[in-house]
């Protein structure tokens, strides 16, 4: 910092502090982002380095300039261009209820459009496009794109599998767990254009689940009728629910409403001053819904019926791109670890890089899966496992001894695992899901030398927020995010995904009927699921045979069903067996329902005799369980194990 003088702090971000500084050699003002890297994780450090790499290759008039970077006092310092006018977000807030003219909207928009076009031409996705990341000059006539900390550099066969960014600007396909691509940036650009025209965001809600639901439904308030039909149509087309029907950047730039503004922007922003003829009626003032609007141009705006009321559903956009394709260009190349086995590693499915920049883990709860583990599958003693990770083992079936699991990438660590009769999955320290798929491998080309190998891979197209918990059923999976959102994927048989149908889902999809609830615990049986909210509400769905759902019947439910319990019982965690369910309450009591095969639910007593099944949740009556405080429970096919508050383990068969 010998060449710079700090003036003041202008902002604080997730990874560091932003200073306004004076460059001593010429007294020029610059921005220096100070990012302490010593205590960062590998992913956070990579994000900081990534911003330097992206800025260094993006040289464009409408992109914040990169000057230098260096290390000082165990921090990465990034020197960038200073924009005196602040952000577009700040500018719009200062206007209060005074709408921008359509001419000014388009003047700013085409500059953002050109900068994003340049970014995409370099095979880079911005992934956090919003009004807070677009800066202005002192006269607020020049817009510049900034903050490339979470941008993704793509190769010719890649797509960004991690989903990051500001929730209000994320696209519906990201909410469904699909991969990020250039059409997601176009959705965010549409949100920015809407904000320029309405001074508010297209999608807002009091909490994240409600926001996700609004985005997935694609409904937002219409912009004012003072704007042209062309502008309204452009917004609708960019905010189309179907990514393939959103226009390409080249198509947007060719629209008549954009071409004129492009020409004006290129002449007015250049170094040679150009005289622009003012339009007639430039001082005309209009009002709409109590908002002041200084019109600079058009008096012939077309009014749609009801345009000032109700809501707009953006999957009916007038800009029809149904025949266009979403060429998101492939899958990120693997840089992960390999498996040391005597067969061609190219036959394995590719692992995928990820760049999640922040994560948090929910504290372990009773009945949760194993935590604080790391590793991956192979029976070779030569497997590549990070020296800083603790191994994960699997055994049973045809394995004569525990086998160590391998990871798709050496830098990953497993924090939680879960298994079912058909699946093995884990959650990484970066909030990703690892799947181990079993493959039968022939050794040395001899049929009599076959071994089962579980091949690790990262699940493609993971959700908008980090996964903290995973639970496996038979051919389906449930996972929780760090915001308490429940997502399911896999086979939809018996309605076990909770989506209101029996269809399969290839990628994690939000259970929509639970939007608005913070889910804190979930467990999968062979064909059913139970989940508990932060308010101790219990939901169950899927196959209802044997009364395993606790609904007092044996019906099958394809959407979550609220299970009513006496007020004295407050569920805290749940464990689903193959054909039964067990619920732990805050006071340590254990409630059970479903099949009591081999008395695994401990329902047989001298008073009741043999109990085959129970259709509603019932407190375990048998001693000593009925008198002990139970902290954890696990269910097998025909036996159960619990841990009590005094650390005594009880096994029942």
Mean confidence (pLDDT) of the chain: 76
Tell me the C-alpha to C-alpha distance, in Å, between residue 438 and each of 441, 507, 577.
9, 19, 23
C-alpha–C-alpha distance, residues 528 and 581, integer Å:
9
Residue 580 near residue 603, CB atoms below 8 Å = no
Rounded average pLDDT over 287-308:
34
Rounded average pLDDT over 199-225:
89
C-alpha–C-alpha distance, residues 582 and 576, integer Å:
6
Assess whether 128 carries a catalytic annotation.
yes
Lowest mean pLDDT among 52-61, 327-336, 519-528: 327-336
Residue 296: is its pLDDT beyond 70?
no
By percentage, how much of the chain surpasses pLDDT 70? 71
Residue 447 near residue 162, CB atoms below 8 Å = no
Residue 89: is its pLDDT beyond 90?
yes
Q: Under DSSP, is residue 555 helix (H, G, I), strand (E, B) or coil?
A: coil
Residue 356: is its pLDDT beyond 60?
no
The predicted structure's pLDDT at residue 56: 74
Q: Which of 2, 73, 128, 230 is catalytic?
A: 128
Give the CA dihedral 91, 96, 98, 102, nearest 10 degrees.
40
The predicted structure's pLDDT at residue 549: 97
The predicted structure's pLDDT at residue 652: 54
Lowest mean pLDDT among 47-61, 522-536, 584-598, 626-640: 47-61
Strand partners, 471: 478
Tell me the C-alpha to C-alpha distance, in Å, between residue 219 and each of 169, 189, 406.
14, 17, 44
Residue 507 near residue 179, CB atoms below 8 Å = no
Task: Look at 331 and 37; give whichever has higher pLDDT.
Answer: 37
Strand partners, 593: 581
The predicted structure's pLDDT at residue 284: 35
C-alpha–C-alpha distance, residues 540 and 544, integer Å:
9
Tell me the C-alpha to C-alpha distance, in Å, between residue 77 and each of 69, 86, 560.
5, 21, 50
Indicate the pLDDT class of residue 176, thresholds 50, 70 and 90: confident
The predicted structure's pLDDT at residue 376: 30
Residue 578: is its pLDDT beyond 90?
yes
Residue 531: is its pLDDT beyond 60?
yes
- pTM for this prediction: 0.51
Indicate the pLDDT class of residue 575, thresholds 50, 70 and 90: very high
Residue 360: is its pLDDT beyond 60?
no
Rounded average pLDDT over 501-517:
86
* Block residue for tokens 């994780």: 41
C-alpha–C-alpha distance, residues 169 and 151, integer Å:
15
C-alpha–C-alpha distance, residues 183 and 191, integer Å:
13
CA 547, distance to chain mean position in Å, is: 35
Task: Look at 134 and 164; give whichever has higher pLDDT.
Answer: 134
Residue 601 near residue 626, CB atoms below 8 Å = no
Q: What are phi and psi of 24, to 5 degrees?
A: -65, -30
Q: What are phi and psi of 160, to 5 degrees?
A: -80, 115
Q: Can you say whether residue 583 is alpha, beta or left, with left for phi > 0 and alpha for psi between -120 and 50 degrees?
A: beta
- Winning range, highest mean pLDDT, from 127-131, 431-435, 570-574: 570-574
C-alpha–C-alpha distance, residues 461 and 433, integer Å:
10
Rounded average pLDDT over 152-174:
57
The predicted structure's pLDDT at residue 316: 37
The predicted structure's pLDDT at residue 448: 59
The predicted structure's pLDDT at residue 321: 33
**Other beta carbons less than 10 A from residue 373's beta carbon:** 19
**How many residues are recorded in the chain?**
653
- Reported as a single tens digit per residue, the pLDDT across 241-271 is 999 999 999 999 989 899 888 877 665 554 4
C-alpha–C-alpha distance, residues 528 and 111, integer Å:
52
Task: Give all domains of the chain, ordered by start, each with its CATH number.
Answer: 4-81 (3.30.200.20), 88-271+281-316 (1.10.510.10), 345-581 (2.130.10.30)
Indicate the pLDDT class of residue 337, thresholds 50, 70 and 90: very low
By percentage, how much of the chain surpasses pLDDT 90? 41
Lowest mean pLDDT among 551-555, 585-589, 626-630: 626-630
Residue 562 near residue 586, CB atoms below 8 Å = no
């Amino acid at each position: 910092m010998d060449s710079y003088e700090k003036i003041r702090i202008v902002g604080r971000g997730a990874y560091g502090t932003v200073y306004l500084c004076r460059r001593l050699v010429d007294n020029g003002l610059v921005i220096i982002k100070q990012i302490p890297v010593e205590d960062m994780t590998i992913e956070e450090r990579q994000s900081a380095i990534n911003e330097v790499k992206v800025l260094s290759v993006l040289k464009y008039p409408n992109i914040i300039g990169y000057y230098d970077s260096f290390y000082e006092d165990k921090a990465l310092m990034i020197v960038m261009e200073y924009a005196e006018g602040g952000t577009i977000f700040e500018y719009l807030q200062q206007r209060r209820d005074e709408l921008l003219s359509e001419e000014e909207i388009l003047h700013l928009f085409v500059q953002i459009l050109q900068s994003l076009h340049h970014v995409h031409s370099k095979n880079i996705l911005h992934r956090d496009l919003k009004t807070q990341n677009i800066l202005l000059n002192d006269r607020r006539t020049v817009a510049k794109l900034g903050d490339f900390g979470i941008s993704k550099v793509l190769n010719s066969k890649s797509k960004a599998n991690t989903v990051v960014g500001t929730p209000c600007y994320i696209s519906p396909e990201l909410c469904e767990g699909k991969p990020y691509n250039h059409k997601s940036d176009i959705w965010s650009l549409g949100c920015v254009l809407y904000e320029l025209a309405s001074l508010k965001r297209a999608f807002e809600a009091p909490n994240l689940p409600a926001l996700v639901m609004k985005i997935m439904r694609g409904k937002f308030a219409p912009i004012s009728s003072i704007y042209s039909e062309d502008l309204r149509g452009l917004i609708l087309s960019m905010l189309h629910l179907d990514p393939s029907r959103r226009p390409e950047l080249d198509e947007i730039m060719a629209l008549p409403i954009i071409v004129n503004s492009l020409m004006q922007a290129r002449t007015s922003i250049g170094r040679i001053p150009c005289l622009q003829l003012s339009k007639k009626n430039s001082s005309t003032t209009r009002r709409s819904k109590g908002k002041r609007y200084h019109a600079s141009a058009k008096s012939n705006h077309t009014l749609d019926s009801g345009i000032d009321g109700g809501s707009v559903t953006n999957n009916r956009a007038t800009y029809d791109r149904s025949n266009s394709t979403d060429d998101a260009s492939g899958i990120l190349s693997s840089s992960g670890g390999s498996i040391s086995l005597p067969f061609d590693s190219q036959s394995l499915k590719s692992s995928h890089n990820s760049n999640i920049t922040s994560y948090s883990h929910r504290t372990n709860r009773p009945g949760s899966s194993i935590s604080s583990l790391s590793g991956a599958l192979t029976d070779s003693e030569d497997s590549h496992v990070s020296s800083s990770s603790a191994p994960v083992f699997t055994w049973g079936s045809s394995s004569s001894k525990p086998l160590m699991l391998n990871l798709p990438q050496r830098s990953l660590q497993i924090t939680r695992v879960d298994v079912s009769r058909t699946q093995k999955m884990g959650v990484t320290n970066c909030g990703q899901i690892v799947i181990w798929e079993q493959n039968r491998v022939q050794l040395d080309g001899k049929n009599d030398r076959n071994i089962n190998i579980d091949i690790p891979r990262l699940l493609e197209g993971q959700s908008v927020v980090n996964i903290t918990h995973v639970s496996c059923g038979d051919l389906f999976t449930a996972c929780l995010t760090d915001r308490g959102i429940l997502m399911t994927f896999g086979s939809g048989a018996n309605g076990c995904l909770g989506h209101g149908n029996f269809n399969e889902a290839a990628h994690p999809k939000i259970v929509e009927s639970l939007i608005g609830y913070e889910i804190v615990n979930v467990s999968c049986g062979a064909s059913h699921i139970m989940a508990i909210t932060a308010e101790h509400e219990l939901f169950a769905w899927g196959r209802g045979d044997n009364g395993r759902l606790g609904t007092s019947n044996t019906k099958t439910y394809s959407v979550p069903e609220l299970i009513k319990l006496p007020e004295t019982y407050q569920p805290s965690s749940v464990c689903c067996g193959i054909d039964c369910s067990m619920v732990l309450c805050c006071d340590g009591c254990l409630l059970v329902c479903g099949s009591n095969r081999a008395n695994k639910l401990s329902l047989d007593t001298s008073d009741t005799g043999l109990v085959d099944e129970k259709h509603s949740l019932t407190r375990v009556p048998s001693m000593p369980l009925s008198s002990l405080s139970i902290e954890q429970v696990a269910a097998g096919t025909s036996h159960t194990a619990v841990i009590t508050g005094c650390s005594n383990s009880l096994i029942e068969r």
